[in-house]
Structure 1
Amino acid sequence: MRPIVLTITALLLSATAWSPAFAQNGYYYPYSHRQATGVNGRVSALTRPAIVHAIQPVRVSLPTEGRITFYAGSPDNAQVQSTPAQPGMVPGHVYRLRISDMPEFPGVELYPTIELLDRLHPPQGLAQEFPIPIEITEEEIEIALRDQMVTKVIYLEQPDLANPIQQVGGVLTEDVRPTANLLQVADMKGRPMAILRIGGRIPDRHSATDEFYSRSPLFWNRGP
């Protein structure tokens, strides 16, 4: 199975109000990428409580070089890593990042979020070899700098539904129509794993109680 990414930009959705999604068989579908950040993760944790006891490696990468800052409650409680970075995250949680020091974008800082929905099931002892890949591309950064929101859903493809496309490096990416529910599309093709949202929002530096920074638990593999 290979990881696939569905992408859409929020600018195209600006005139589209969110309403509950229904599958083709008429049953209510509780997930939507248009829900407030964190809602889908909480629903996943409630419906599959075992996932909140897992630590899932997530590999975050930038176009070439740069730094990725992972927050844990405040700007003073953060881990700064060079790209690519691979922390352990807990499904059901939302994580706030800062990306910076990118040679393609001098002086630019952006603060994306990762909402983790599920976990992988690798062979025993090989979890670090099977991270969920989150690639932030140059095009997506350019879109965010135009004050648009990019939303990506990463899902694990079902082998029997796989497209006959030879994958050469990286993660296969598909663009979908603006009116689509990314999570529902991903669910029909495989298993939704994570949502990446990247836009132009920045923290309020004058607020001592800014809720901008996530308090979600992070784990780092320090090696043997």
Structure 2
Amino acid sequence: MIFFSLSFAVAGECVASAGLECPPQSLLDNVDEACAYRIVYDLAPALNSNFGGTAPSYTVDASSHSSDYDRVAYYMEVDGDWAWVSMPDFTTSLTELGVPDASLNPVQFQQIVTDMTVASNVAGVVQGSGIDTGNLEIWPSCYGQGNAASVPGASGSTYDLGDLRNPLGNCYGSLQVHNHGASQTVFAWSGFQHALGDDFTIGNASGTHPDGTFGNGFAGTTSRRYLALAR
């Protein structure tokens, strides 16, 4: 299956079709496979998102599109540092690629993913394709340090690639993709459902918590972008 049957590439460039937008040229220049994907959501997160049931101000929202798709991807860029990760589709609808919210998008993904592709310009991030040791932590809730899903290599005493999700509610929020085979967070955006500033890291964060929880990683940044895409 393909996401857009009318999409095609010319001389390495992406051609939009049916009003569905291509990834930005900077992403196309850096990630070869991105040309096959189209944007589902495009968002410029605030320093302190604190969504709390308010719909994010997406500049692109193509989640109502009904075409078939077989892979999904996330791309985050903050002050020039970026990470791309794609994987086989794990959703029931494109809406589930949006920011987790207890009322608007009540997703609770805590699962292994395979055939993952990772690319980044951040030193130390393990890159490649066909990575079968990915795992997701995506929810609007608070979470604890326990390794509830028995993720290989996760600690029960830090916030990392294997944590304990609390019951559904807009409490803290986690949108994290990890590569447990490399004992590494690919990217993590957290804290978007509380009022004390958003957390962010590409690769393992320095300090106590490898997934950047409580690190307020957006602080001091000037540009932030979140893309969810599908093929």
The TM tier, using the shorter chain, reads under 0.3
| TM-score, normalization by structure 2 | 0.26
More helix, by proportion: 1
Greater relative CO (CA pairs within 8 A, separation 6+)? 1
